[in-house]
């Protein structure tokens, strides 16, 4: 009898995910700090397993928890935020070397010359990290939202953002494959490659780079991606110790919101080539409000729907599925090929 492959448990928390920042060069901003103290302090020990390049901090003792993450400044900021929350909840983890951050290069990090949709497949920024988790190389995995002059060029690699932007402002031009980490995109913006770009405000806050924000778009202006701004932390299902640690980090309201949004996405079978957006939140009466949309890639048509119901798992899952079924029916065959 073979050993059963462990599955993945997840904890979630979301910080100010309901806003998207538009940074416009014409209005000016301070140049981003290219340095990153957490990144520069990494050790020089490298481990290669299959196609996964893992860079680890040199440690004299075995860490109690190994946190797997991408190496971008934002990903590292989220990993360090996770570490700090673990230490806050479990003081014994404050001891030096108790928590180690392991950097893993993903397919999406390696291939920067092509649009994400052309690379193909799902999990371009998560697959290698999840494989490292299943293989036991790490213990938990941390995975990671206005007006312009006519003819202005906006840079974004997101079909979801592109379609919503063109639907509202058809006179704008969108530079596709505008990829790179936050610092890279801001550098390109400063160099005049584009007149504006769209960045997740939650990410800028985690990087302490909100000085670059010149306009904040509300949910009504641009609906974010499903689970935008939420941090997902995974551990193996058979690792009770890690599950205990992570239980203190889980934010139940966020977990339910993400489940609702992902139920909507799953019904639509979304991919990199399908502009889909969804956002669930608790209203002042304690109910769940789900706003969802699908759009044609060229932005010529945007279909939206809203659901309201009890803020409870089963109800919210049903809301997500129901919203997906409605938009699938309204969109009809070939909608995403326009």
* pLDDT tens track for 211-232: 877 677 778 888 998 998 888 8
The domains found in the chain, sorted by start residue, are 1-250 (3.40.190.10), 252-331 (3.30.160.40)
pLDDT of amino acid 34: 36
Contact in structure between 106 and 132 (CB atoms under 8 Å): no
CA distance 299 to 334: 14
Contact in structure between 249 and 85 (CB atoms under 8 Å): yes
The answer on pLDDT for 265 being more than 50 is yes
Helical pair 73-89 and 182-190, crossing angle rounded to 10 deg: 140
Residue in 147, 145, 146, 141 with CA at minimum distance from that of residue 126: 141
pLDDT of amino acid 41: 36
Q: Which of 116-120, 137-141, 302-306 has the highest mean pLDDT?
A: 302-306
| Averaged pLDDT for residues 291-315 | 93
Residue in 220, 305, 319 with CA at minimum distance from that of residue 264: 319
| Averaged pLDDT for residues 244-249 | 92
State the pTM of this model. Answer: 0.60
Q: Work out the end-to-end distance of the chain between its first and last CA atoms, rounded to an integer number of angstroms.
A: 50
pLDDT of amino acid 2: 47
| Averaged pLDDT for residues 240-264 | 94
CA distance 138 to 157: 30
The answer on pLDDT for 329 being more than 80 is yes
pLDDT of amino acid 203: 85
pLDDT of amino acid 125: 63
More confident residue, 5 or 269: 269
More confident residue, 192 or 321: 321
Give buried/exposed letters for 205-215 (b at 16+ CB in 10 A, else e). Answer: bbbebeebbbb
pLDDT of amino acid 54: 39
Both structure tokens of 189? 């913006």
Catalytic residue annotation: 147
């Amino acid at each position: 009898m073979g050993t059963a492959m462990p599955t993945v448990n997840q904890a979630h928390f979301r910080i100010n995910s309901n806003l998207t920042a538009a940074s416009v060069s014409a209005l000016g901003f301070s140049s981003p700090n290219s340095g990153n103290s957490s990144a520069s302090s990494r050790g020089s020990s490298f481990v290669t397993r299959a196609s996964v390049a893992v860079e680890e901090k040199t440690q004299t003792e075995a860490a109690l928890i190994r946190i797997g993450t991408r190496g971008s400044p934002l990903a590292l900021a989220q990993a360090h935020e996770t570490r700090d929350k673990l230490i806050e909840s479990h003081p014994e983890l404050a001891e030096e070397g108790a928590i180690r951050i392991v950097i893993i290069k993903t397919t999406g990090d390696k291939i920067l010359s092509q649009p994400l949709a052309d690379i193909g497949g799902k999990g371009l920024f998560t697959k290698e990290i999840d494989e490292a988790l299943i293989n036991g190389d790490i213990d938990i995995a941390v995975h990671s939202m206005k007006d312009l002059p006519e003819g202005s060029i906006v840079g974004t690699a997101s079909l979801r953002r592109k379609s919503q932007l063109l639907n509202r402002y058809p006179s704008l031009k969108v530079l596709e494959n505008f990829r790179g980490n936050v610092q890279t995109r801001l550098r390109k913006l400063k160099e005049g490659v584009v007149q504006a770009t769209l960045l997740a405000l939650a990410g800028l806050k985690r990087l302490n780079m909100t000085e670059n924000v010149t306009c904040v778009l509300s949910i009504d202006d641009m609906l974010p991606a499903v689970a935008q701004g939420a941090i997902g932390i995974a551990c193996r299902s058979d690792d009770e110790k890690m599950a205990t640690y992570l239980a203190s980090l889980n934010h139940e309201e966020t977990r339910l919101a993400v489940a609702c949004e992902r139920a909507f996405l799953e019904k639509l079978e979304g991919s990199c080539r399908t502009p889909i957006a969804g956002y669930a939140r608790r209203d002042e009466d304690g109910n769940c409000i789900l706003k969802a949309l699908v759009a044609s890639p060229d932005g010529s048509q945007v279909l939206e729907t809203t659901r309201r119901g009890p803020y409870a798992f089963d109800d919210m899952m049903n809301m997500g599925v129901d919203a997906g079924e409605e938009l699938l029916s309204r969109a009809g065959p070939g909608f995403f090929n326009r």
